[in-house]
Every structure is written in structure tokens, then in C-alpha cells.
Amino acid sequence: MQRTGNLCSNANNIFIYRLSQCVKIAIAVGMLLTYPIMFYVPNAVVWTAVVKRWGPFERPILYEYLVRILLSLVTFVMAEVIPNLSVFISLVGAVSSTALALVFPPLCDLAVRWSDQDFGPFAWRKIVDYITLVVAAFGFCTGTYYSMVEIVSSLRS
């Protein structure tokens, strides 16, 4: 029997099968209840643009909910329409994870301490920041390259 890294796919007896169904239901309910919460900030940005373009509205709360639902539906449709979504997720991860973990912290540190040209007793931090930026550039380039290779090979097959 072929094993995968997924509890729900490895259901070989009735107990495991029922447990896996409960896990699937719990994940679905959790996503249903929490997914639109992630769109609070994008909704605020989009809602401001919608009000500037088509507003003011008689029932703004109703239209704001409609915009929130539309944003959620767009992501669900994209997940269904895009073939091999996992390779695109790896590309987004290569770009955004590198930026969040390796680019922004040293840039913020350099920006805060930039007025001190010699950094005083913390001159070693400038060296560490620049080394981190070089590692980030290397990680960004290699991660993006291999993600793009994977995308091209998955689209060819």
C-alpha cells in the first residue's frame, strides 16, 4: 500500500477512516470561520477604493460584506483554476519568506542606526546586517530560480 504524508490519505481501517473524516470536517469548519478574517487589511484597502469610485452607499455594511465575500471567492476560484497550485505557492514563499525573514530586519536595523555613521561599539552589527543581506539575495535568487524551473516543468507535463 502506497503511503503518503497525509493522515486522511492513509486510512486503512474504519477507525482511522472516521477519524480522518472528522479531521477533514474540522479543517473545513475552521477555514470557513477564519478565512475571511485574514482579509481584514486587504478589505480595508479595497473598500476605500470602492467607496471613492462608487460610493457613498445607502447600506455601507452590506456592500462591505459583499466586497469581503468577493475577495474570499476570488481566492477560492484561483485555487481551483490554477493547475499545480503548490509550485506557485513555493514561488510566493521563496520571495516573501526571504523578504520577511532576511531582508526587512537588517534593513530596519540599518535604517535605525544610519545616523551613527560608525555605529559606535556596535559596528559589528553593520557587518552582520550586510552579510544577512547577501545571504538573503542568494536565497532569493536560488529559491526563485528553482521555483520557476519547477513551474515550467509542471506546465510542460
pLDDT over 70 percentage in the chain: 89
Residue 92 clears pLDDT 60, i.e. is over it: yes
pLDDT at 71: 86
State the cell numbers at 141: 535568487
Which tens digit of pLDDT belongs to each residue from 142-157?
Answer: 999 999 999 899 888 8
Round the CA-based radius of gyration of the chain to a whole number and report it: 23
23-27 CB contacts, 8 Å cutoff, 24+ apart:
none
pLDDT at 24: 92
- Indicate the domain borders of the chain: 8-81, 85-156
Which tens digit of pLDDT belongs to each residue from 50-89?
Answer: 999 987 889 989 998 898 888 888 888 888 888 788 888 8
Which tens digit of pLDDT belongs to each residue from 37-46?
Answer: 888 888 889 9
Are 63 and 57 a contacting pair, CB within 8 Å?
yes
Handedness of CA 118, 124, 129, 131 (dihedral sign): positive
Tell the residue number behind the cell numbers 474570499, with chain if given: 72
Which tens digit of pLDDT belongs to each residue from 14-56?
Answer: 777 788 889 999 999 998 888 878 888 888 899 899 999 987 8
pLDDT at 52: 92
Residue 132 CA to residue 80 CA, distance in Å, equals: 37
Q: Measured at the alpha carbon of residue 39, what is the angle toward residues 35 and 44, in degrees to the nearest 5?
A: 155
Residue 12 clears pLDDT 70, i.e. is over it: no
pTM higher than 0.75, yes or no? no
